[in-house]
């Protein structure tokens, strides 16, 4: 479960970062959308802020990523997708519709602990991905 929007904004304030209307809107859109691309965020931003540039959206997403508020999900030749940082979870990627779904995987932390016991590694994070066909595409 991700933190509420006010605590995200407070994190930015505490780090001395300005809360511009554009930054606040990017964060709001990340709460509303499921794993959007930067292009999707920009498209919706442009409706509310007609003069916003793609550069503003990309730099805001990068800033949020650098601050640990947003995760960037990359999939080879596909566009990056973004999500608010949450508890450990996996992703299911539908090969038919391209949808990305969160999957609760409580065992991921066990994997992290297991590899930490081997002193040859220091784990920054664990990323578990599943690929297949989602229920909606199976029944279509």
State which fold the 90-139 domain adopts: Dna Ligase; domain 1 (3.30.1490)
For residue 118, give Cα distances in angstroms to 26, 122, 127. 40, 9, 18
**Segment 45-78, tens digit of pLDDT:** 999 999 999 999 999 999 999 998 898 988 766 7
Residue 86 has pLDDT above 50, yes or no: yes
**Where do the structural domains in the chain lie, given as residue ranges?**
5-69, 90-139
- What whole-number distance in Å separates Cα of residue 21 and Cα of residue 24? 5
H/E element, 101 = strand 100-103
Query: Bridge partners of 132?
Result: 94
Q: Binding residue per annotation — 83?
A: no
Q: Crossing angle for the helix pair 21-32 and 5-14, nearest 10 degrees?
A: 140
**CATH topology classification for 5-69:** Arc Repressor Mutant, subunit A (1.10.10)
134 labelled ligand-binding:
yes
Tell whether residue 86 is among the known ligand binding residues.
no
- What pTM value is reported for the model? 0.76
pLDDT tens-place string over residues 13-25: 999 999 999 999 9
């Amino acid at each position: 479960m991700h933190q509420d929007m006010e605590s995200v904004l407070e994190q930015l304030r505490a780090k001395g970062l300005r809360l511009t209307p554009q930054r606040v809107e990017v964060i709001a859109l990340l709460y509303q959308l499921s794993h959007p691309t930067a292009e999707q965020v920009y498209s919706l931003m442009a409706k509310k802020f007609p003069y916003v540039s793609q550069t503003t959206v990309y730099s805001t997403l990068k800033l949020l990523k650098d601050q640990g508020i947003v995760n960037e999900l990359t999939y080879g030749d596909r566009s990056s997708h973004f999500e608010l940082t949450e508890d450990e979870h996996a992703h299911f990627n539908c090969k038919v519709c391209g949808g990305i779904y969160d999957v609760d995987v409580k065992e991921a932390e066990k994997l992290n602990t297991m590899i930490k016991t081997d002193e040859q590694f220091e784990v920054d994070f664990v990323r578990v991905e599943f690929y297949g066909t989602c229920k909606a595409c199976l029944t279509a």
